[in-house]
Structure 1
Amino acid sequence: MEGSYNYYIVALSMVIAILASYSALSITAKISYSSGKVRYFWLAAGALVMGNGVWSMHFVGMLAFHLHSTVKYDIWLTLLSMAASVIASFIAFYITMPKQINRYHIAVGGFIMGTGIVAMHYTGMEAMVMPLELVYDRSLWALSAIIALMASYAALFLFIRFRNQASTSGLKWLSAVVMGFAICGMHYTGMKAAKFYGHADMATAGHSVDLFLLYGVTVTIFIMLFISWGAMFFDRYVLEKMAYQDTITGLPNRNEMNRFFNTYAENESVGVLFLDLDQFKAINDTLGHNVGDLLVQEVGKRLGRFVRSDQQAFRIGGDEFLFIVKRCDQERAVQLAKDILQTLKEVFRIDGNDLHITGSIGISIGTILKSDSSILLKTADTAMYKAKKLGKNQFCVYTDEMGVQEVRKMELEKDLQLALEQRQFFIEYQPKWNVKTNQLYGFEALLRWQHPRLGLVAPGEFIPIAEETGLIIPMTRWTLEEACRQCSVWHSQGIHQPVSVNLSVRLFQTNCLVELVTHVLQKWKLDPQMLELEITESMVLYDLNDIISQLEDIRKLGVRVSMDDFGTGYSSIGLLDRIPIDALKLDRLFTNDLETPSKRAIIHAIVLMAEQLNLDVIAEGVENEEHIDFLTELGCYVMQGFFYGKPMKSEEVMKWADRAADA
């Protein structure tokens, strides 16, 4: 028995196939952008839309087919055909979900989806309950299966090709049309393969189709499609804007940056420029967060000038911005960094204030497929901090040497705690000499680290790490106690000289410094005059009143206080009459350039000022007799440097003291 078609309903089935294909294409974009449980939600949604779209197209096509005979549908076989289509789509999407896949993945996924479509179609045909016998033309049956497999392969290929394009495009619609016609082609080829046989009296029984089932299924699918479109529309235009756009600058935020790195699959060089504003914290603290937000907003506008189709700006933190540049080489990245820094130097007029800021930029260039995106971000961040150390308002390109330094820093940070526990630290003592009396003036305790694998680690390398991690507190406690113990031992051996210990501002922040010093002095029965504590100028940037109060309490114990590295980094001259200290230590920066008249004039001025404030002056870095002559002429008599003695271990001090006494 030959059937006929209602071509209007045939057209409707094609429309359903096209809409389902387009919806599935759009949802696969969400699969790529999402992570965790959300990713599986979109995976399930895509499988439902694709599977049910193909299934609904089949039954609408059956609605278009007139057999002139009573036709009903077995509900369980009908539902089984739906499950076959959805499950096959889910498995196929799951196989091709990873960011990096090859043709093998597409082939396997296409085979599974195609098999599911064939199973859905012919299970749906078996669901037909009618007084006719159904047989198939084997050639056409095989052709319909081949079309299903080819259509499935094409569908997955297009899903992968367009899943990173979140926006609507004509090319995506064209792909949906191709997929829709391929799916319909499989269905109607399968229908052509079907042959219906029955008795002559059955042919005139009239046309009867289970319209309730077919129309109910069609309406349900349309509702589901519109709901999925509505969810995607809301997600794209409302939730995405909230989640992926910075509210102050309007630039993409850190979430959008992460999404780019998670979805970008091109094997080409990418440049990452990490920008940090240099004076932002000071502006925030002095003018308020409202002005700070307005400043960030204006910075965002200026950075927006550099946004192109192949380079995008992101705001990833308070005063941190990032540029991602596709197809980037070092020359292009450097030029962009120069342009950004020049733009930032232009004055910002905000809320009646003329604000001048600069930026520090770190540049890292690499290929995402060859390295994890976090490595590019980390290396750019490392280069940015290097730029800040170079004096700010700079850019710096990441090099392998920086990477070695960063790895070494991380290793030292990891081993610091273990070094304390295993007593890898030791102290060397450097003498201070008074040339006026030609006598020993005291010793400075200098902390050293003998790493079991890396050897002797310089203090300038591990002290800043200890400051950052807070380990400087137990390290200084140990140094203070060990130096006082050694000083007590020397006292019993006839060396009656004080020892000085450097203090970190972290010790002041514990609010137990005075108790610590008192405890150590009592423990080793040491005269407080035998201990000197050295502070740095940078401490004036913290809670000055609290530091002054603690220093006054320390001096009341009889302990001397000196200011180390005076004249470098921060100027505290205006506070010298307030800070309770006994001596100033001139940094070796002055000693190394004594032949310069201007430098000698500065030292002479410092010495005169110290005399008026009843402060001793100690010069560091004295290495030859010329230094001694210059400093003596300028009125500085206490000196410390290699000329008098290099830092030495405690057991060497007695020998040095004997030689010095003989000399």
Structure 2
Amino acid sequence: MNIEGSYNGYLVALSILIAVLASYSALMIAAKISSSKGTVKFFWVFAGALVMGSGVWSMHFIGMLAFHLHMEVKYDVGLTIVSMGASVISSFIAFYITAPQNINWYKIVSGGIIMGSGIVMMHYIGMEAMVMPAKLTYDKTIWILSVIIALAASFAALFMFLRFRTQSSASWLKAVSAIVMGFAICGMHYTGMKAAKFHSHTEMGAESPSVDLFLLYGVTVTVFLILFVTWTAMFFDRHVLEKMAFQDSITGLPNRNEMNRFFDTYSGHEKMGVLFLDLDQFKAINDTLGHHTGDLLVREVGLRLQEFVQKDLQAYRIGGDEFLIIIQHCDQDRAEKLAVQILESIKKVYRIEGNELYVTGSIGISLGTIQENDRSILLKTADTARYKAKSLGKNQYCVYKEEMGFHEVRKLELEKDLQRALEDQQFFIEYQPKWNVKTNSLWGFEALLRWKHPRMGIVSPNEFIPIAEETGFIIPLTRWTLEEACRQCKVWNTAGIAQSVSVNLSTRLFQTDHLIDWVQDALEKVGLEPCLLELEITESMVIYDIQDIVRQLQCLREMGIKVSMDDFGTGYSSIGLLDRLPIDTLKLDRLFTYDLDSPSKRAIIHAIVLMAEQLHLDVIAEGVEHEEHIAFLTQLGCFVMQGYYYGKPMKQDIIMTWVNQKQSAASSSDSNI
């Protein structure tokens, strides 16, 4: 005989409530899956699958308890556990497949089929777990309908999962979606129950419906415990860990991590504006008033930036005194107006612990879309524009233009090609003569490094030397220059031109503490006398570690090597250090050679020459290009000169011809006298 069952309305309502709560929790976890990476992402995928799978299973089990057959029904523990495993595992696989940001349609289809199959397996394995004095069969039409509903509910669940995974906050739409998902899942269950037919060969009495209260309470408590733990973890993550990880502790603004998360989750196609701001006088305040005052100043700046925050505008502190402002739906006019307002706000007086502080800011603006540009391009172009704003005098903003990026791109290319340039022998040396006017004879040569790039042609030393300094490549480059100059000087010496050669040194070589060994190796390798080598240092070099530099220079001079100070008068050292520095020569920068008809300029040069005489130092004037220069400098007591008048930098293969011509001209001049 067929047995008709009945439902406990309260338990049916409870099953629906659990399905809705589980759906809502899974949607909330979806945002965590999207914004997490690595092990944390795996954890949230597992948590979402556990909540979804156990929620569906619990709804099913309570729905089973709500159904009464007026007979004693027990449940096989093993099959019951297997049914739960099918629900959780299928949910995990489906969530894992669809977790990446960019997924194909077939992954969504695969995930929906897997989750739907898991729900069907869970339901019908759970039905098989029923131990009762009755036979169970199914109406095929309704059974097929239940499978279709399960698949539809699964696709709906994944669609909602993908729809809300970029939204971590609660919303009414998310709540409505959870209700829809909950009713869809319950619809599958109760459709499946409708398909079930119970047959008994014995006459059933009119037993009153009974409920296994222990199982009911156990399942209910377990479900709510899972939901409680999940919501507690999300609350802690959002309000404690997330605050620590994504909020700046000093200003309260979002930090660099939050900025990266914004770019990771942003899917808009409209143009956005990126404003890169930093404070102009911040380092001076930090150094004079201390880091505590600096932090208080940064906090005040953060508060002022908070006033500009809107729904589509957010400010971030990305480190030190640097801030980033991102504006969605932004054109150049809006970005420039905002920059003006921010600069006006920043420069107002700050009163911090009894100090009145005045600072300004520099802002670089970059405009573009995430689809057209990688985030790093937007940030880098904004940073490039910020440097341009500083160079314009600070307290200004600058909008990035393509020509600004040309210099940066070229710099990166040169930096990348430097190593290969040395290996491929793209560097060469030109030698510029130094002439003694008093004796009308050659004084020596300066080795000047040149780079012939295979694509860019001759690259100026003013361009590649600073890059080599920044990257540290200046060390092997100078060692190569030193060895080549010594080798060429030896060739000249053998040919009867006993002239010295000078090589410029970088501060980096002194910092290695291997300079003396490298110089000695270069001399020994070619067999050059130390007195024919001169090393040129810059005046600003001595601001780093004067004691150590003096020690190394003394060792070099004890070897017989000469030392000269290049570009004297343009650096940062004090004249009072000259008596401590072990040097032989001062080289006047070309800045002094220009405008020699100025009485004040001639007075400065004359004072330097007199000082050098007292210190027993030679003086060489650079940038000599006209006879008027020679006349003025000679009158002032400077007799050694270097410049285009006596010779431009020349390659080694024409040096001998030039020397012979100069010697012939000098001999002719002497004979005429």
For the criterion TM > 0.5, the same-fold answer is: yes
Instruction: Name the CA shift for 1:300/1:453 in 2 (closer, same or farther; >3 Å).
Output: same
Q: Does 1:481 align with 2:469?
A: no
Which residue of 215, 220, 225 corresponds with 1:223? Answer: 225
Q: Give CA deviations for 1:327-361 in whole Å, capped at 9, x if unaligned.
A: 33344344444444444444544445555555554
* Unpaired segments ≥5 residues, structure 2: 666-673
Q: Does 1:609 align with 2:615?
A: no
Tell me the equivalent position of 1:291: 293
In the TM superposition, what is the alpha-carbon distance from 1:534 to its structure 2 partner? 2.0
Which residue of 111, 126, 129 corresponds with 1:127? Answer: 129
Greater CA deviation, 516-525 or 246-255?
A: 516-525
Which residue of 29, 36, 39 corresponds with 2:38? Answer: 36
Q: Could you tell me which amino acid in structure 1 is paired with residue 492 of structure 2?
A: W
Cα distance in 2 between the residues matched to 1:295 and 1:562: 46
1:186-197 to 2 correspondences below 5 Å: 186-197=188-199
Q: Does 1:273 align with 2:272?
A: no
In the TM superposition, what is the alpha-carbon distance from 1:16 to its structure 2 partner? 0.8
Tell me the equivalent position of 1:328: 330
In the TM superposition, what is the alpha-carbon distance from 1:72 to its structure 2 partner? 1.9
Q: Give CA deviations for 1:59-100 in whole Å, capped at 9, x if unaligned.
A: 112222222222222223322322222222222212221112
Aligned 8 A contact 2:542 2:573 in 1: no
Greater CA deviation, 215-224 or 415-424?
A: 415-424
Tell me the equivalent position of 1:530: 532
Task: Tell me the SS of whatever aligns to 1:266.
Answer: coil
Instruction: Name the CA shift for 1:659/1:397 in 2 (closer, same or farther; >3 Å).
Output: farther
Greater CA deviation, 147-156 or 560-569?
A: 560-569
Identity over the aligned pairs, expressed in percent? Answer: 69
Tell me the equivalent position of 2:661: 659
Q: Could you tell me which amino acid in structure 2 is paired with residue 84 of structure 1?
A: A
Q: Could you tell me which amino acid in structure 2 is paired with residue 170 of structure 1?
A: W
In the TM superposition, what is the alpha-carbon distance from 1:613 to its structure 2 partner? 3.8
Cα distance in 2 between the residues matched to 1:110 and 1:37: 24
Instruction: Name the CA shift for 1:286/1:578 in 2 (closer, same or farther; >3 Å).
Output: farther
Aligned 8 A contact 2:388 2:398 in 1: yes
1:366-515 to 2 correspondences below 5 Å: 366-385=368-387, 395-401=397-403, 403=405, 405-435=407-437, 437-452=439-454, 454-515=456-517
Cα distance in 2 between the residues matched to 1:358 and 1:559: 49
Count of aligned pairs: 660
Task: Tell me the SS of whatever aligns to 2:267.
Answer: coil
* TM-score of the pair, normalised by structure 2: 0.87
Tell me the equivalent position of 1:241: 243
Q: Could you tell me which amino acid in structure 2 is paired with residue 594 of structure 1?
A: D
Cα distance in 2 between the residues matched to 1:606 and 1:355: 42
Tell me the equivalent position of 1:85: 87
In the TM superposition, what is the alpha-carbon distance from 1:512 to its structure 2 partner? 4.1
In the TM superposition, what is the alpha-carbon distance from 1:365 to its structure 2 partner? 3.4
Cα distance in 2 between the residues matched to 1:573 and 1:276: 36
Instruction: Name the CA shift for 1:296/1:569 in 2 (closer, same or farther; >3 Å).
Output: farther
Q: Could you tell me which amino acid in structure 1 is paired with residue 467 of structure 2?
A: I
Aligned 8 A contact 1:100 1:265 in 2: no
In the TM superposition, what is the alpha-carbon distance from 1:400 to its structure 2 partner? 4.8
Q: Could you tell me which amino acid in structure 2 is paired with residue 28 of structure 1?
A: A
Aligned 8 A contact 1:427 1:479 in 2: yes
Instruction: Name the CA shift for 1:546/1:286 in 2 (closer, same or farther; >3 Å).
Output: farther
Instruction: Name the CA shift for 1:269/1:575 in 2 (closer, same or farther; >3 Å).
Output: farther
Greater CA deviation, 210-219 or 33-42?
A: 210-219
Aligned 8 A contact 2:625 2:643 in 1: yes
Cα distance in 2 between the residues matched to 1:248 and 1:37: 29
Q: Could you tell me which amino acid in structure 1 is paired with residue 601 of structure 2?
A: I
Which residue of 304, 310, 313 corresponds with 2:312? Answer: 310
Q: Give CA deviations for 1:585-610 in whole Å, capped at 9, x if unaligned.
A: 3444555x638x76x63354244234
Task: Tell me the SS of whatever aligns to 1:487.
Answer: helix
Q: Could you tell me which amino acid in structure 2 is paired with residue 91 of structure 1?
A: I
* Unpaired segments ≥5 residues, structure 1: none
Instruction: Name the CA shift for 1:235/1:529 in 2 (closer, same or farther; >3 Å).
Output: same
Instruction: Name the CA shift for 1:607/1:109 in 2 (closer, same or farther; >3 Å).
Output: farther
Cα distance in 1 between the residues matched to 2:552 and 2:311: 59
In the TM superposition, what is the alpha-carbon distance from 1:135 to its structure 2 partner? 3.7
In the TM superposition, what is the alpha-carbon distance from 1:304 to its structure 2 partner? 2.9
Which residue of 164, 187, 199 corresponds with 1:185? Answer: 187
1:623-662 to 2 correspondences below 5 Å: 623-625=625-627, 628=630, 637-662=639-664
Instruction: Name the CA shift for 1:262/1:129 in 2 (closer, same or farther; >3 Å).
Output: same
Cα distance in 2 between the residues matched to 1:438 and 1:147: 104
Aligned 8 A contact 1:33 1:263 in 2: yes
Task: Tell me the SS of whatever aligns to 2:73.
Answer: strand
Instruction: Name the CA shift for 1:554/1:640 in 2 (closer, same or farther; >3 Å).
Output: same
Aligned 8 A contact 1:99 1:265 in 2: no
Q: Does 1:75 align with 2:74?
A: no
Tell me the equivalent position of 2:669: none
In the TM superposition, what is the alpha-carbon distance from 1:158 to its structure 2 partner? 2.0
Aligned 8 A contact 2:247 2:253 in 1: yes
1:556-571 to 2 correspondences below 5 Å: 559-568=561-570, 570=572
Which residue of 70, 94, 97 corresponds with 2:96? Answer: 94
Instruction: Name the CA shift for 1:361/1:583 in 2 (closer, same or farther; >3 Å).
Output: farther
Q: Give CA deviations for 1:555-576 in whole Å, capped at 9, x if unaligned.
A: 5555443332344464755655
Tell me the equivalent position of 1:53: 55
Cα distance in 1 between the residues matched to 2:533 and 2:45: 70
Instruction: Name the CA shift for 1:374/1:316 in 2 (closer, same or farther; >3 Å).
Output: same
Instruction: Name the CA shift for 1:339/1:522 in 2 (closer, same or farther; >3 Å).
Output: farther
Which residue of 159, 176, 179 corresponds with 2:178? Answer: 176
Aligned alpha-carbon RMSD (Å): 3.3
